[in-house]
Structure 1
Amino acid sequence: MTRLVENDIAGLERELDVYEEELLKKTGLNLSEVACAGGNITIHDLRKAAQSYRVAVVPITSGEGVIGGFTQFVASIIRKMGFQATVTEETDVAGFYEGVCQENEIIFMADDKKFIALNLRTKKVIDNGYGTGRGFGAALAGMADGLAGREVLVIGFGPVGSSAAEYLLESGAKVAVYDQNELRMKETKKDMKQEPNLKQALKIYDFLIDATPEGEFISPEDLTDQAMIAAPGIPLGLNAQAFEKYKDRVIHDPLQIGVATMLALAVG
């Protein structure tokens, strides 16, 4: 999991409505609908779950400590999906205890290594990498008006990229993978094509998932004119010129889709 810094999320809580309008314009789906597609749950069932679940977000101080604004932003995303959500006053184990005592049945919490949603009712645990990968796969499918039978390149085959690839295969896409780590490439499934050269691959595929933690390594001349990019990786892999050219066909955010899809998966 890439550790965010306060600047990655500063001001985004106030701009959730604007963010969702842009997401709807690009994909035809609002945030809840993207999350439901990635989480394999209907909007009806999500709304029903919102009536019966309360959510607590627990600040965790271990490691490098609490990221300013992180828990508040996570809670805002959850509320955006129609759920009651609070940030506990206490941190760590005391915060978890507080959340349970206040009869919350879903707990969100993150340290330097893991960001999870825990459903206390069903004992289901959802990892952020899994939710983020599936959510961005769903967002790309929405932007492309479906990916069945179409070729998609997944760049980076860590927890996010592998989860995105899993979702894409379920959607009927033809998945190709590039990762500079040979051990990760060996983990790809038989029905995934392996691309040995990223620069060459970028010039072939119109649909891309950038799930790397590397910034500004993609230039405009690397991409096809029709390229659509879902980029869960932090920082953004497109350089400033590439983003300016393709910004109407780029989906990129630090938390919104990942948190929303984690919640959909947790109650699904």
Structure 2
Amino acid sequence: MSISLKLSIFPWIKSVLVFLKVKKDSLHICLRMTRLDSETLVWVRNNINTLDTKLKNLIDLGLEEICNGEDYFGKGADKENKIGVIPISSSDGVIRHFSETVSFILNYLDFNSEVASEKDVFGLKKSIEGNKDIVFIADDNRFVAIKFDGLMVIDNTHATARAYSILTREVLSKSSRSRCLLVGLGRVGGNILKYLFSNPLSVQCLVDKFYIYDINRKRMRNLSKKYPVKILTEDDLKQGIKQDVIIDATPSRESVCTNERILHKKTVFLQPGVPPSEKVNGINDYFHDPLALGVGTMGFMASQ
């Protein structure tokens, strides 16, 4: 990295750090991200091959193909980029194994990643001085990848939404499933909805009905006017309208999508983030991943 580029980056880095430290004030514009625990992170590292195999069994595509998204977005990735993962000790502090797990996922996908030797701003400084092309950095509100060339910021919620949108479209395109339900329309779910009704991932021709649900009724109504979707109602639940594909983008283990009236044995249940409810244990086609798809997609988006 040239000296001139390094000098131009520092004022920009200051603005990024301010972005990461947005105060948790009125309306909670910056929602608190789901805080993973160290046991879950160790589980991801120990089971990443299982996650990869489960994806291949479900849609004939693996973790790399979903994260890359090249079939839809047509961009290859430069895996020669040097990536630094920076531990952050502010807010509730460093989660044990978080940075190591992020770096592990990236290296599993053949990226060139390592955890910074120092934390916080000092770690960022050392990464820049060490000619890193991309850094991954997270606090309790945001988890982002920063690409210095072009000064690009990739948010984990956006990347996770892209990955699960690709996964959803692949499920729908490779089956005769006609009803889809998206529960949770926050930062992840809202972006999933946007992806699924925009090119190149549009599923409009693949579903007979696309249902949405969120406890924020105003948000739900607004999005139902913007996209060709149907709000899931109490009458739908009473009638027991079965859903073929369910995407649970809520921060809760128990939500309307675990209602037994809308589940059947062949329901495909996709769940980013939180662990599964016991009510979905009987479903054969179930996929839950708390981190790998989002991190991998961040790596590809930052390297494309």
TM bracket, shorter-chain basis: 0.7 to 0.9
Pairwise CA RMSD of aligned residues? 2.4
Q: Is the partner of 1:126 in helix, strand or coil?
A: strand
Aligned to 1:21: 53
| Paired letter, 2:295 | V
Q: 1:99-144: per-residue Cα shift (whole Å, max 9, x none)?
A: 1111111111110000001111121111111111111121222333
CA shift for structure 1 position 68: 0.9
- The structure 1 residue matched to 2:216, chosen from 156, 175, 181, is 181
Answer with 57-66 or 210-219: which moved more.
210-219
> TM (normalized to structure 2)?
0.78
223, 236, 246: which one pairs with 1:208? 246
Q: Give the equivalent residue in structure 2 for 1:257.
A: 293
The equivalent position to 1:242 in structure 2, one of 280, 286, 291, is: 280
**Alignment partner of 1:143 out of 167, 171, 180:** 171
The equivalent of 1:45 in structure 2 is 76
- The residue type paired with residue 76 of structure 2 is D
2:64 corresponds to: 32
Q: Is the 8 A contact 2:178 2:244 kept in 1?
A: no
**Distance (Å, rounded) in 2 between the aligned partners of 1:148 and 1:38:** 24
Deviation at 1:183, TM superposition (A): 3.2
Q: Distance in 1 between matches of 2:161 and 2:137?
A: 18
SS of match in other structure, 2:95: coil
Change over 3 Å in CA distance of 1:105–1:187 after alignment to 2: farther
SS, match of residue 224 in structure 1: coil
Q: Are positions 1:69 and 2:97 aligned together?
A: yes
Structure 2 CA distance for aligned equivalents of residues 167 and 38 of structure 1:
15
Does residue 92 (structure 1) correspond to residue 120 (structure 2)? The answer is yes
Matches within 5 A, 1:97-246: 97-146=125-174, 150-170=178-198, 171-174=201-204, 175-188=210-223, 190-197=226-233, 200=236, 203-217=241-255, 218-236=258-276, 239-243=277-281, 245-246=282-283
The structure with more radius of gyration: 2
The amino acid across from 1:87 in the alignment is V
User: Aligned AA for 1:17?
Assistant: N
For normalisation by structure 1, the TM-score amounts to 0.87
Structure 2: tracts of 5 or more residues without a match: 1-32, 205-209
Residue equivalent to 2:25 = none
Alpha-carbon distance between aligned partners in 2 of 1:70 and 1:173, rounded to the nearest angstrom: 34
Change (3 A) 1:128 1:97: same
Higher relative contact order (CA 8 A, sep 6+): 1
TM-superposed CA distance for 1:90, in Å, is: 0.5
CA distance in 2, matches of 1:8, 1:74: 12
Aligned length: 260
Contact 1:144 1:228 in 2 (8 A): no
* Change over 3 Å in CA distance of 1:230–1:11 after alignment to 2: closer
2:290 partner letter = P
